[in-house]
Structure 1
């Protein structure tokens, strides 16, 4: 039997960094769409992903009120498709081939992958709205994806060079087990969460490698925080990762999510994040943090759910 959950996980990991066209239907059944440079997986169980749309978009109301949407990950030969859906063109669908996906939203032909989603939740987020989609159907093909960086497109041949000169991204694993979280020695007498710079393999692969290095079996899970350390020029992506089994490697161990347990966390932003997690676990009301290392906003999801 085909493991759909594994296929979806692999699709998320492979296509998360590409240029996408997000599509839906208006109340008259007309197709609408816009170009987005990235999207994020939120959960594998249930299968959720998110995209955002600016309030200034002429399609904001249609997407905000839609019953669902599709995310189309463009292939390397679809630069013009990306440009078309990024411009104020009267009929963006006139020059592309498309069809309705299994759940009823526009899927473009020739893409690297598509995800057909029903709307799970809309989160108001300042001058944008975050659209949470529940993946009802998806397809991942073999065509290389299209990337975009610093005003220009790149394809997989240039991906490594583009990442190497781009902004630094740090992946953080919040590995939880029975009310405790895994911390590692920072080499200076303190403790920090396991973290690793993202390399050419991408954030999802880096996260899986990072988890494996701790000696703990854990499921790469939900995005819990996205923040920038402006002093160090680092973008941080923190994921909640439920542990299942295993023994921590030397220099790592589980501590309680309590003031005493977190007292030796040397990174203030990490300590603040774990204090929030402790409180949210107690209340059962979680959210996604967005901002910098000092201040930001927590966008709440449905009470009782995990972000």
Structure 2
């Protein structure tokens, strides 16, 4: 059977992916790289990942002959980097801050994560090859990733702002902010605990205000994450939107960290918040988070299609 290649490509493009830039050095030692969204993890033991490379790529010979390559997962602020490495720009690396990784391939600053790999295997696959790399070094920065689907970019922050702008009821924005297996909770005068949150009654830059509030509260760097829970309090007629976040290093102030696996739920008065924290503890142990959509009593958890 023969297929319309454009139609097939469009159908493949329905799958929501992240965006990476694959880098290495050519025979003369110059850095080279290209944008790719055909990336996936393969194995934890041994640590393997793969990317696909078209045989028509101008980087084909250099990449397939190299002893290693790096995969830079772009963060949501790096759309320009994606575009630069997807086009025949003369000096692509002049447009990005980078350094050599521990295994020798270029790694970028401000990415969501990077993996510096040795070449494990190159497999023929039609008009592409599959590059399997063994992870020699990596870093996860906690920054939200840049997404791509049907020829367009999306990001958690932009999606969140669109969500907030499209809703006409008062909202409470909250965050489940984690660091090293502990989450932030605020204590009220009566000793009860709650998630860090802000009230949003008149629209505006709610997402930015939320994470700004979290930074001010904790006096720590904050890496915003994905939407984690969206529910309506049907009695108060208020929508709650809760995001994930990752805290940076330093001494916390204005709140306290509590172990995810031993949360004092008896001190959380709000039932919906207890449900959020209970689900977070369960999903955190698996490393697989969803998005709850519903009301304060019942709803559905949807699989996430982008990184948090």
TM-score relative to the length of structure 1: 0.47
Larger Rg: 2
TM-score relative to the length of structure 2: 0.47
